[in-house]
Amino acid sequence: MTVQFDQIQKTFQSPDGELLALKDVSFSVEEGAFVSIVGPSGCGKSTLLNILAGLETPSGGRVLLDGVPVTGATDRIGYMPQKDQLFPWRTIWGNVTLGLEIQKRKNSGDLCRIHCLLERYGLSEFQKSLPAQLSGGMRQRCALIRTLATDPGLLLLDEPFSALDYQTRLTVSDDIHTIIRQEGKTAILVTHDISEAISMSDRVVVLSARPGTVKAVHPLDELHGLTPMARRDHPRFHRYFNEIWKELELGA
């Protein structure tokens, strides 16, 4: 699935008047690409995802999915929020099939595909377990499989590793990156972590301070084909980090 942000603007009403959150945001995401968005707190990163998901309406501009304007929520998009939001009273199987249950799609084909996902990513033996019995990393993998269960063409990841400790974040980001690549999905990640953005993405989009606008786009061609962990050991990784850090520091 391709994505095109075309001159997106977003204004919110506040007690002090109008607040311009996003201004003339334009960039594209090619099919099968993994793009990260970084920027200072309050610059509109999550708002941009909400507009793309059809949960917010832009004040100006438009978003196109495969060339068609977004006019509301769609099951073609999967959204993975900051916390795994697994229901503690449902088993892992009950959690990962929740989307299909809501969409009344619990047919044999879809259920078989979820069985395959759980098997492929090392969770099949925990189908009858409750979320509290799993580690944080395993819970995040379950959350991603739940997101993949309805077979969306586009995945939106809103700081999905922020609740994890540093060591677990490294391992889980590697796992999630592998799963998304193997499933052939287009993905957009919002994160405050520059290292995380560089280690997982094909490109990093840098937003300015509010009102958020595109300050720079960094293609990470020299890191293409490497796993997130391998990228962190690459000499070019630190150069990318310094370039993006300076842009954020100057734009804060």
Question: Which residues span the domain enclosing 201?
Answer: 3-213+247-251
Q: Are 157 and 173 a contacting pair, CB within 8 Å? A: no
Rounded to an integer, the average pLDDT of 205-213 is: 94
Specify the higher pLDDT residue, 80 or 11: 11
**Two structure tokens written together for 198:** 């560089």
6-10, 138-142, 148-152, range with greatest mean pLDDT: 6-10
**Residue 79 falls within a domain, yes or no?**
yes
pLDDT in tens, 30-42: 999 999 999 998 8
Q: What is the mean pLDDT of residues 159-171?
A: 78
Residue 243 has pLDDT above 90, yes or no: yes
For residue 59, tell me if it sits in a domain: yes
- What's the pLDDT at 14? 75
Domain tally for the chain?
A: 1
Task: Summarize the confidence of residues 163-177 as an average pLDDT.
Answer: 79
Whether 72 shows a pLDDT value over 60: the answer reads yes
Indicate the pTM of the whole model: 0.88
pLDDT tier at 113 (50, 70, 90 boundaries)? confident
| Per-residue model confidence (pLDDT) at position 101 | 86
Is 225 inside a domain boundary? no
Distance between CA 172 and CA 138 in Å, rounded? Answer: 8
pLDDT of residue 178: 85
Whether the per-residue pLDDT at 48 is higher than 90: the answer is yes
Q: Is 36 within a domain? A: yes
Percent residues over pLDDT 90 in the chain: 57
Question: Is residue 88 in a domain?
Answer: yes
Q: What CATH number does residue 84 fall under?
A: 3.40.50.300
